[in-house]
Amino acid sequence: MSRFAAPIAEQIWDMKYRFKEADGTPIDLTVEDSWRRIARDLAKVEEDPVAWEEEFYGALEDFKYLPAGRITAGAGTARQVTLFNCFVMGTIPDSMGGIFDMLKEAALTMQQGGGIGYDFSTIRPRGADVKGVAADASGPLSFMDVWDAMCRTIMSAGSRRGAMMAVMRCDHPDIESFISAKSDPARLRMFNMSVLVTDAFMEAVKADGSWELQFDGKVYHTVQARDLWNRIMRATYDYAEPGVIFIDRINKSNNLNYCETIAATNPCGEQPLPPYGACLLGSINLARLVADPFGADAGLDEAALEKLVTTAVRMMDNVVDASKFPLPEQADEARNKRRIGLGVTGLADALLMVGLRYGSEEAARQTERWLHRIARAAYLASVQLAKEKGPFPLFDAEGYLASGTMQNMDEDVREAIREHGIRNALLTSIAPTGTISLYAGNVSSGIEPVFAYAYTRKVLQKDGSRTEEEVVDYAVQMWRDRFGDADLPEYFVNAQTLTPAEHVRMQAAAQKWIDSSISKTINCPEDISFDAFKDVYMQAWDEGCKGCTTYRPNDVTGSVLSVSETADQAPGETADAPHPAEGGDVIYMSEPLDRPQALEGNTYKLKWPDSEHAIYLTINDIVIGGRRRPFEVFINSKNMEHFAWTVALTRMISAVFRRGGDVSFVVEELKAVFDPRGGAWVQGKYIPSILAAIGGVIERHMISIGFLEGEGMGLKSDPQAQVVNTDTPRGKACPSCGQYDMRMVEGCMTCGSCGYSKCQ
């Protein structure tokens, strides 16, 4: 039998984690091969690698421990990739040369797939003097535009995505421009953005005091703190950004505050890191550890949990030695502190299995208890590793135990650290787990609530057709297996039915035993008032969270996907999906269709009168749903006068064709172009311009392949003419698979159908 609990799980493994030859031939024949590859690679640094390989394999088996995607995809492949997920880059110098040195480092890191974070507060504000050149500074926002362009270039070159986080202190003179930057929908699309909020600022907000905006000791402006806070809130209310990071709270609790200062986070916010800081991630799948789910004796197997945590810490510590790093500074930082980020996934499913309603006070208490057990087990495992292999090089017992987090730790754990040291400076973090949660059988993601109990997913087949399959939440499937078609109990709730206060309650409960931070989205209803929205952030501050990320659907951010629960709908919810508004017949374009290795096509010769050289048009087609449609065009001529515009036309028409949908308008637009110098008679017919002639050639090709009915006529029946079905509720299309299944999860837009995440 397959180890996969659902078809989507196997598809995710095949697409993202399965080790293959360059030509796509599988090397990992089964998921067991993938587990074996990872276990063997991480055990090779041990004195007894054979024994530890078996131990590590046992932890990976049946998706109990889930290393982050980069480990799962890269370990044991001998590829030049980093196994670390998160990087904060070096401090940006306030000089042109230093800034572009940092840009180069960012490109090298992103080229290997690392997500990066930057604090742009170190760059002087717009309008400040630039000594020696008699000029004014352009400010950090202008350089962020450069970073944004770099990220687009890296992505267009075919490299793995790498998200970026930009942060700025709340007292920087350009903070107001930073806050409003995302109001321009075309600007800084490659960045997530957050404001570094200090304790002093929050005190000024509550007291309605004044607030100085300063740089390098010079005060540029004085504003009212509450006015600035309201600007942050209004931008987030309208555009879902910027997020808020309580930076002083992060530094006070940091185990390493005696030897580092944190000023930025990775793209999803769960890893506050120092300059050149790096962190690897992994998750305990709580849903797999519940004994007697939905039964009278349902409960988490805590002995199994502690054993699994102990093994996972050892595996992650070994990754520090096994991984490659884009920059030597990152390698030094990782090995000097050996920080890891062990978290959880499947929390909401586990709570359901033991009969608890996510967001309730009892669920919050249970979450806190479970994460306390994980923290204890992780710290004691790291102490044992320190006894065996030595503590991390920068360990100082007095400084370490004086940190805010360690002062709250159990006394027996503190005493063990005092006596033996500890191998890993920080151990816990709750990261985005969207893709690996799908891979593990569609368990609930991280500490997020279940998004939807079941939904229909369209799957692209090799012949271009699409089939439909039901994707069911892991806990719901277990309920079905045990109780058949019995109605779901009232404690089954999802992300849309919870109040924002319940979201915050769960985040705060988890934060108490997480030494880094948490990636969590607080879903807010579209009609939430602005004052109530602001209260969410104040509640997060008051309850001890280290940051806050919300998502309120609107015209800018897109709507959260509505899912019909049908037979398994949650109590009190309607199974009727909303219908598109009047006038909803717009053709929505998805990301470009994938190009197969080989395409069928035709080449046409176009001879324009009075032109010395002919123009050659090659039009290639793709087969989708058993029908041919134009996919790309190449226009060539020996006439150098034509070179620039034929290249431009080639690129633009091909880009349109590759987006799918009804592309017949290309023909009509070209045929309508008139040359003021006059057209020409071709084969007894007047053609108003050479561009119109090209349009005519494309039209004849479309007719010949059955895409158009005939000259001047519309489309033939084409099942793929509309990119989306107009009776489907739509938010934003997934840039990877094109399906309208994007939702905000753990601070990042994530596709429920293919696992794509902007932040991976």
Catalytic residue set: 266, 268, 270
- Cα separation, 228 vs 450, whole angstroms: 35
Q: Tell me how far CA of residue 390 lies from CA of 34, 179, 325, 376, 386, in angstroms.
A: 30, 45, 22, 19, 4
- The dihedral region occupied by 699, where left means phi > 0, alpha psi between -120 and 50, and beta the remainder, is alpha
Q: Which residues pair with 710 in a beta bridge?
A: none
Q: What share of the chain is helix, strand, coil (3-state, %, to 5)?
A: 40, 20, 45
Q: Tokens for 101?
A: 């040195």
- Asked if 371 and 514 count as a contact pair (C-beta separation under 8 A), the reply is yes
- Tokens 């048009």 correspond to 617
- Tokens 């299995």 correspond to 353
- Asked if 40 and 284 count as a contact pair (C-beta separation under 8 A), the reply is no
388-394: long-range contacts at Cβ-Cβ below 8 A with a sequence spacing of 24 or more?
389/423, 390/421, 390/423, 391/420, 391/421, 391/422, 391/423, 392/336, 392/337, 392/338, 392/421, 392/422, 392/423, 392/424, 392/425, 393/335, 393/336, 393/337, 394/256, 394/259, 394/336, 394/337, 394/425
Residues 6+ apart with CB under 8 A from 66: 72, 282, 283, 284, 285, 345, 433, 436, 437, 439, 440
Closest listed residue to residue 719, CA positions, set 727, 711, 707: 707
- Cα within 13 Å of Cα(28), Cβ side: 24
- Tokens 């600035």 correspond to 228
Residue-wise burial string across 544-553, b where 16 or more C-beta atoms lie within 10 A, e elsewhere = ebbbbbbbbb
- CB count within 10 Å of CB 63 equals 24
Q: Tokens for 433?
A: 């787990």
Residue-wise burial string across 319-335, b where 16 or more C-beta atoms lie within 10 A, e elsewhere = bbebbebbbebbbebbe
**Alpha-helix runs per DSSP H in 595-689:** 643-657, 665-671
- Tokens 């980093």 correspond to 82
- Cα separation, 453 vs 478, whole angstroms: 12
> What is the four-CA torsion angle of 20, 25, 30, 34, rounded to 10 degrees?
-10
3-state secondary structure of 695: helix
- Cα separation, 285 vs 343, whole angstroms: 9
Q: Tokens for 531?
A: 């004052």
- CB count within 10 Å of CB 463 equals 9
- Asked if 397 and 235 count as a contact pair (C-beta separation under 8 A), the reply is no
Closest listed residue to residue 89, CA positions, set 274, 214, 229: 274
Closest listed residue to residue 497, CA positions, set 570, 589, 436: 570
3-state secondary structure of 388: helix
- Cα within 13 Å of Cα(481), Cβ side: 13
Residue-wise burial string across 624-648, b where 16 or more C-beta atoms lie within 10 A, e elsewhere = beebbbbbbbbbbbeeeebeeebee
Residue-wise burial string across 161-173, b where 16 or more C-beta atoms lie within 10 A, e elsewhere = bbbbbbbbbbbbb
- Cα separation, 722 vs 682, whole angstroms: 35
Query: Phi and psi of 100, rounded to 5°?
Result: -80, -20
